[in-house]
């Protein structure tokens, strides 16, 4: 995988779609950069744009967008609820994959230098890209906003990092940096009072508020770490909001922020009515939120990702001000290549038809993986039924744990359905390579061997994962809801079939692999798993048949 970074520029225009579209068109014109989200806000008069791609391409797209924004937006006429100091107010880069924060910061410095030198725009570095930690905080840099910038820029301590030390009346200034993933999140209140909303914001934000004690002003920190927050009134919705930046969701997740706002609002006689996300959010944050709210209800967390997201959305009222579409708001879903999950996205009928067609794929390996996923799905169902069984309330957490494990194994096996077909296609592609010259023959042979090893590893992973599911299946046959013991039995049959079927694919592919030491090792391990799964199936079926009794 190549390095991937995310870039989330904030442009000081949230109403004129013509201007917004011209800016985003500059981003879309850079091949290899994917525009994930465009989120305009009327009251804030600000648009948050999210793009991802290789760092070199992303900073090219960001440069073009910053240039276009400076041409189209006149800051001397700008009004909006959100703090701002420039046409492109802030442009953070965020490491996503195969790149460090230090490397991302270097790219931010590279972009800032180019913007300052080529566009003659004052640029400040922030967060990880700023070596001077006294001026790395965005709120400190932006203090005084656009209206105070003419006086601020001439102060020696506020000389821009790049670009001229001259107030640009039309474009303002830009802040460019590198930071961890930030979640911009607004909580809606049943009040129109900005003052009361601010009071709640001060209650929760890490910076807290200044209070007077014995005639001396001291700082009283808020209740949440890694949280920035202010209160404002949104005319578009007719309500006040707490506008929150969660700068480290590993420290303060979105669901904890929501619950804390609810607590502080209630203490002040105010009610939270819902919330909204600005831009994108990682999948893990939504899944963690769903589990959190289910656990508060003492319900099983071993449900699908789709159900966890639904619980999170409803619990935090993320759909109060507009529909929440996971495929448009969750970053991993935006990056999903649907071609990589073609089979599991099919209907059952289409999948069966595709299997029965003259195409050689999907074949036995994919079917084995799917049968394995059905086996663990049955065990997970028994765990969820047991968790919610009347009279078993004291055991809900035990069965919830089993169900959560089952969901993980199910998801892994579903991925392997398409992975096995991809492995087959990889072998076919290798065999189709040119073989005229000695060099071409050598390249072709190496490609065939690499593809063959991959085609051995995928069904072997199916074997391992399906065998692992036997522990859960046995637990459900032994201790689960007795009315569903036959479901656990069928799950065992599926898991055994998945292991044995996948092993056939391991063996047939291993026959074409030249490294015989590796082949002997994998076959030996495969036989051990096959014998173990047959023995486990016998134990489980004995339990099931004894409980059925007929």
Query: Catalytic residues, which ones?
Result: 82, 420
Instruction: Assign residue 338 a region (left: φ > 0; alpha: ψ between -120 and 50; beta: otherwise).
Output: alpha
Q: Which residues pair with 275 in a beta bridge?
A: 187
For tokens 């391991």, name the residue. Answer: 506
Asked if the peptide bond before residue 362 counts as cis, ω within 30 degrees of 0, the response is yes
Give me 541's structure tokens.
């079926």
How many Cα atoms within 13 Å fall on the side-chain side of residue 264? 22
Report how far Cα 157 is from the mean position of its chain's Cα atoms.
39
Report how far Cα 317 is from the mean position of its chain's Cα atoms.
19
CB atoms within 10 A of CB 72: 16
Cα 33 from Cα 203, distance rounded (Å): 40
For tokens 């391992």, name the residue. Answer: 464
Tell me the angle at which helices 101-119 and 55-72 cross, rounded to the nearest 10 degrees.
Answer: 40
Cα 85 from Cα 175, distance rounded (Å): 9
Residue-wise DSSP of 454-514: HHHHHHHHHHHHHHHHHHHHHHHHHHS-GGGHHHHHHHHHHHHHHHHHHHHHHHHHHTT-S
Give me 300's structure tokens.
């099983």
Cβ–Cβ < 8 Å for 481, 388: no
Cα 74 from Cα 93, distance rounded (Å): 25
SS (H, E, C) 131-199: CCHHHCCHHHHHCCCHHHHHHHCCCHHHCCCECCCCCCCCCECEEEEECCCCEEEEEEECCCCHHHHHH
Cα 402 from Cα 504, distance rounded (Å): 29
For tokens 């199916």, name the residue. Answer: 462
Q: Residue 372: CB partners within 8 Å, gap ≥ 6?
A: 413, 462, 465, 466, 469, 494, 495, 497, 498, 499, 502
CA-angle at 135, arms to 131 and 140, nearest 5°: 150
Cα 385 from Cα 303, distance rounded (Å): 11
* Alpha-carbon distances of 103 from 53, 54, 132, 136, 225, rounded to whole Å: 15, 12, 17, 17, 26
Cα 227 from Cα 241, distance rounded (Å): 15
Cα 170 from Cα 71, distance rounded (Å): 9
């Amino acid at each position: 995988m190549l390095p991937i970074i995310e870039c989330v520029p904030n442009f000081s225009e949230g109403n004129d779609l013509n201007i917004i579209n011209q800016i985003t068109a500059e981003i879309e014109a850079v091949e290899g950069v994917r525009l994930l989200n465009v989120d305009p806000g009327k009251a804030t008069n600000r648009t948050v744009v999210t793009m991802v791609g290789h760092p070199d391409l992303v900073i090219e797209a960001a440069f073009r967008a910053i240039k276009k924004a400076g041409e189209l937006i006149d800051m001397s006429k700008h009004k909006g609820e959100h703090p701002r100091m420039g046409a492109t107010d802030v442009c953070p880069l965020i490491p996503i994959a195969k790149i460090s924060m230090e490397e991302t910061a270097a790219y931010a410095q590279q972009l800032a230098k180019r913007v300052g030198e080529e566009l003659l725009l004052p640029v400040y570095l922030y967060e990880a890209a700023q070596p001077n930690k006294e001026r790395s905080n965005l709120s400190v840099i932006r203090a005084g906003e656009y209206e105070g910038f003419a006086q601020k820029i001439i102060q020696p301590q506020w000389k821009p990092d790049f670009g001229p030390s001259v107030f640009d009346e039309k474009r303002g200034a830009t802040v460019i940096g590198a930071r961890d993933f930030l979640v911009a999140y607004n909580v809606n209140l049943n009040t129109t009072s900005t003052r009361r909303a601010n009071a709640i914001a001060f209650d929760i934000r890490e910076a807290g508020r200044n209070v007077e004690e014995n005639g001396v002003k001291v700082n009283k920190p808020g209740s949440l770490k890694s949280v920035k927050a202010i209160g404002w009134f949104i005319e578009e919705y007719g309500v006040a909001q707490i506008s929150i930046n969660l700068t480290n969701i590993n420290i303060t997740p979105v669901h904890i922020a929501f619950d804390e706002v609810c607590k502080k609002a209630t203490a002040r006689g105010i009610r939270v009515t819902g919330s909204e996300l600005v831009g994108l959010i990682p999948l893990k944050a939504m899944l963690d939120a769903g589990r959190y709210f289910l656990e508060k209800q003492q319900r099983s967390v071993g449900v699908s990702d789709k159900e966890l997201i639904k619980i999170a959305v409803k619990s935090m009222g993320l759909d109060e001000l507009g529909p929440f579409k996971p495929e448009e708001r969750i970053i991993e879903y935006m990056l999903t290549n649907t071609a990589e999950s073609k089979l599991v996205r099919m209907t059952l009928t289409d999948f069966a038809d595709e299997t029965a067609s003259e195409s050689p794929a999907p074949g036995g390996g994919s079917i084995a993986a799917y049968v394995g996923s059905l086996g663990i799905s049955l065990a997970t169902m028994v765990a969820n039924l047991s968790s919610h069984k009347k009279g078993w309330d004291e055991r809900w957490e035990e069965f919830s744990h089993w169900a959560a494990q089952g969901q993980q194994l199910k998801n892994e096996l579903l991925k392997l359905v398409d992975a096995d077909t991809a492995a087959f296609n990889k072998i076919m592609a290798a065999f189709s390579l040119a073989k005229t010259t000695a060099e071409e023959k050598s390249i072709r042979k190496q490609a065939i061997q690499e593809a063959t090893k991959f085609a051995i590893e995928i069904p072997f992973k199916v074997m391992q994962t399906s065998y692992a599911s036997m522990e859960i299946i046995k637990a459900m046959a032994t201790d689960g809801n007795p009315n569903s013991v036959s479901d656990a039995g069928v799950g065992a049959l599926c898991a055994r079939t998945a292991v044995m079927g996948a092993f056939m694919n391991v063996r047939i592919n291993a026959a074409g692999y030249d490294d015989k030491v590796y082949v002997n090792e994998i076959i030996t391990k495969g036989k051990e798993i096959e014998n173990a799964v047959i023995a486990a199936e016998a134990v489980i079926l004995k339990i099931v048949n004894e409980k059925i009794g007929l």
